[in-house]
Amino acid sequence: MQKLITKISLAGALVAACSGAFAGNFTQVPDPQTVAQGATANVAFQFAGDGVTQEAQMDLNYNSTVFTTVTPTVVVAGSVCAVFSMPAAFIRVVPPSGAGNPLTSTATTYCSFAFTAAPAAAAANYDFTTRLLECDGPTCTRTGPFRITVTGAVVNTPPTIGYVPATGSIIAYSGAGAASPIVATPSGGSGTGAAATTTVGACTITNGGLAFPTTSIAQLSFVGNTTTAQNIVLPACAPQAAQIDATLTCPESQGGAAATNRIWTLRCPAGAVMAVPPTITYAPAANSTTNIAAGASTTINVGCPTDGAACNGSGTGLPATSRLENLRANYAGPMFSPVPTMACQFVSEAGGAVASPRDYLAGGPDQGDISCTCPANTSGLPNEPFLVQVDERIPASSGAITATRNFTIVCGGPPPVCGTVAYANFAAGSTVNLTNGGAASQVTAASLVGGSNGVNQTITCVTSNVSAGSSFTVTTSPSPLVVSTIPALGGTVSASCTNSETTTGTATLTCSGTSATQGCFSTATFTLSCPGQGVPPPPSEFIPVPTLNEQGRILLAALVLLLGLGVVGFRMRG
């Protein structure tokens, strides 16, 4: 369709293209828009048709010294959304041609523009002035003021936390050992990032003894202007024969400053002591593999939960007891006759043999460990594997076995090879540059090189030393990330960042590998870098002019005098 448009330059004023009852209208959404110094705001532009207009255009001048970066986005396909710098800075909004049909009369967003205010921009109202407004016949209008208001820069202020009940209070538990949570409510904060964050915790419980088997509470985090309360959820207590007053300590840190301890008293009432059997642990861990020489012995250290220390839990009798029984070892290699046998027995902490079962009573002493001795190699095979098993009955009053723990002991075999965790794309120790506010970027690809069959490591990555105003998000694929050589397993580590400061933000990324195979672990670190907002260019280079000392001035004067005498002599000869 031939475009029939009468172009009218308005120079800041609205002039009708022609008279008539019809009028297509441009609007700004929101109008006015507000943006902080150094920040970016999105402004959308809409057009509502009048039942006749098929083509329309609006050009708006803007202050390019205030808005240093303007990025257009096409919202409706076929629209023209453009930024021009000559003869003056202006934007252009052109809805797609109606192609023989009028543009919709519903106010429709055709273009949006991201306006970034200079960090030093004065706080004021900045109006768009009309450079061109036109339609293909009927009058085009706009509903104003078409304005962006620049406000002062956002100040990063960590919120203040109010607590109910207040710090210093006594929090009384019920006879059942329960207590209401502490409600932490933030107020008065602003901004984003570490400088605008207040953390509470991780909280610890001390002096609780058997009444408080759980002694830690997860950390809470409050960012910027949030007013959403969070709960410090208190763990249950186990009533003892006498009242127990424990101390709850929650370190509170505002904007990364030194922590201030917030303290309460947790009062667990006297009552019938709750029966809680001890927690049983093993070293090496269950499902691990241990290699020792033929004829040698090895010990599986049993803790309740710490080897050699008194057991946790509470109460008395079988309901407060953890029992280990039915210890056995079975050959797990290729079958032949005679079948190799391994001797395993319960032993005291001092190493002497003790009878089965072993009962670990709450508050009582550690009842010992498990010792196994490999036979002399009679099969002629390079190694002889055995599966060692022990049954748990927790509590001991239970009518059935509650769990079976398995350990593999290989006699005469070579020790497992841990291998090396390799990091590709970016090697360990590298600095990885991310995009501020952009999508996640791959930091590295992890794999295990040279590991034995079945040896693997689980890779966990965390950030530390995060710069003020910055935040970093780290993910692994797959999650959890497990690497091994046989079978071949690996994955990637990715990160994204935001930085509200003008200076580059950094963080240390530490990737740690853990394994069920004893002695197999790894650690690697990377530096993550997040560019600042509108970082100014470096100053121009200059050439320093050396200064003269007293001796230099004398030499310079002598040189000038000699040159003058030479010129005079030359003229006289001439």
**Which H or E run contains 406?**
strand 403-411
What is the residue whose two structure tokens read 């922590």?
A: 259
Report the DSSP beta bridge partners of residue 448: 421
Structure tokens at 496: 């994204």
Q: How many CA atoms lie within 13 A of 94 on its CB side?
A: 13
Residues of the chain with CATH 2.60.40.680: 23-151
Of 381, 446, 440, the residue nearest 410 (C-alpha):
381
Q: Alpha-carbon torsion 328, 329, 332, 336, what sign?
A: negative
Angle at 222 between CA 221 and CA 225, to 5 degrees: 165
Q: How far apart are CA 335 and CA 385, in angstroms?
A: 11
Of 154, 250, 231, the residue nearest 193 (C-alpha):
154
Mean pLDDT of all residues belonging to the chain: 87
Tell me which of 1.20.1270, 1.10.1060, 2.40.128, 2.60.40 is the CATH number of domain 160-268.
2.60.40
CA distances from 464 to 194, 248, 256, 474 (A): 11, 26, 12, 12
Q: How far apart are CA 201 and CA 218, in angstroms?
A: 7
Structure tokens at 299: 């010990």
Beta strands in 255-364 (DSSP E): 260-268, 281-283, 289-292, 297-303, 321-331, 343-347, 358-361
Of 351, 352, 369, the residue nearest 360 (C-alpha):
369
Show Cβ contacts of residue 352 under 8 Å, excluding neighbours closer than 6 positions. Answer: none
The whole-number pLDDT of residue 564 equals 58
Give residue 6's Cα distance to chain centre: 56
Contact indicator for 166, 262 with CB cutoff of 8 Å: no
CA distances from 304 to 35, 277, 358, 396, 551 (A): 59, 9, 12, 14, 85
The mean per-residue pLDDT over the stretch 515-542 comes to 76
Q: How far apart are CA 424 and CA 504, in angstroms?
A: 25
User: 431-433 and 522-530 as β-strands: parallel, antiparallel, unpaired?
Assistant: parallel
Contact indicator for 27, 143 with CB cutoff of 8 Å: yes
SS (H, E, C) 408-469: EEEECCCCCCCCEEEEECCCCCCEEECCECCCCEEEEEEEEECCCECCEEEEEEEEECCCCC
- DSSP for residue 88: S
Q: How far apart are CA 428 and CA 445, in angstroms?
A: 10
Q: How many CA atoms lie within 13 A of 69 on its CB side?
A: 14
Phi/psi at 196 (nearest 5 deg)? Answer: -110, 20
CATH of domain 281-411: 2.60.40
3-state secondary structure of 413: coil
Contact indicator for 238, 177 with CB cutoff of 8 Å: yes
Q: How many CA atoms lie within 13 A of 341 on its CB side?
A: 5
**Which H or E run contains 135?**
strand 129-135
pLDDT tops 50 at residue 9: no
pLDDT tops 60 at residue 30: yes
Of 426, 440, 438, 500, the residue nearest 473 (C-alpha):
440
Burial zone of 560 (CB within 10 Å; 0-12 exposed, 13-18 middle, 19+ buried)? exposed
The whole-number pLDDT of residue 568 equals 44
Tell me which of 2.60.40, 3.40.50, 1.10.1740, 3.30.70 is the CATH number of domain 420-530.
2.60.40
To the nearest 10°, the Cα dihedral for 277, 283, 285, 291? -150
Contact indicator for 52, 22 with CB cutoff of 8 Å: yes
pLDDT tops 60 at residue 13: no
pTM for this entry: 0.39
**Which H or E run contains 564?**
helix 550-573
3-state secondary structure of 553: helix
The lowest-confidence range among 105-119, 221-235, 242-256, 373-387 is 373-387
The whole-number pLDDT of residue 16 equals 34
Q: How far apart are CA 455 and CA 424, in angstroms?
A: 20
Tell me which of 3.30.450.20, 2.60.40.680, 3.40.33.10, 1.10.3720.10 is the CATH number of domain 23-151.
2.60.40.680
Question: pLDDT above 70 covers what percent of the chain?
Answer: 88
Q: How many CA atoms lie within 13 A of 432 on its CB side?
A: 29
The lowest-confidence range among 116-125, 140-149, 309-318, 564-573 is 564-573
Buried b (16+ CB within 10 A) or exposed e, 524-559: bebebbbbbbbeeeeeeeeeeeeeeeeeeeeeeeee
- The pLDDT-based confidence of 12 (bands split at 50, 70, 90) is very low
pLDDT tops 90 at residue 543: no
- The pLDDT-based confidence of 561 (bands split at 50, 70, 90) is low
> Which tens digit of pLDDT belongs to each residue from 471-528?
999 999 999 999 999 889 999 999 999 998 889 999 999 999 998 777 789 999 999 9
- The pLDDT-based confidence of 10 (bands split at 50, 70, 90) is very low
- The pLDDT-based confidence of 555 (bands split at 50, 70, 90) is low
pLDDT tops 90 at residue 17: no
End-to-end C-alpha distance for the chain, whole angstroms: 88
Question: pLDDT above 90 covers what percent of the chain?
Answer: 64
The whole-number pLDDT of residue 546 equals 53
> Which tens digit of pLDDT belongs to each residue from 282-315?
999 999 999 988 888 999 999 999 999 999 988 8
pLDDT tops 60 at residue 121: yes
The mean per-residue pLDDT over the stretch 61-76 comes to 95
pLDDT tops 50 at residue 181: yes
Contact indicator for 53, 23 with CB cutoff of 8 Å: no
Show Cβ contacts of residue 398 under 8 Å, excluding neighbours closer than 6 positions. Answer: none
DSSP string over 213-260: S--EE--EEEETT----EEEPPPP----SS-EEEEEEEEEEETTPPPE
Q: How far apart are CA 177 and CA 158, in angstroms?
A: 35
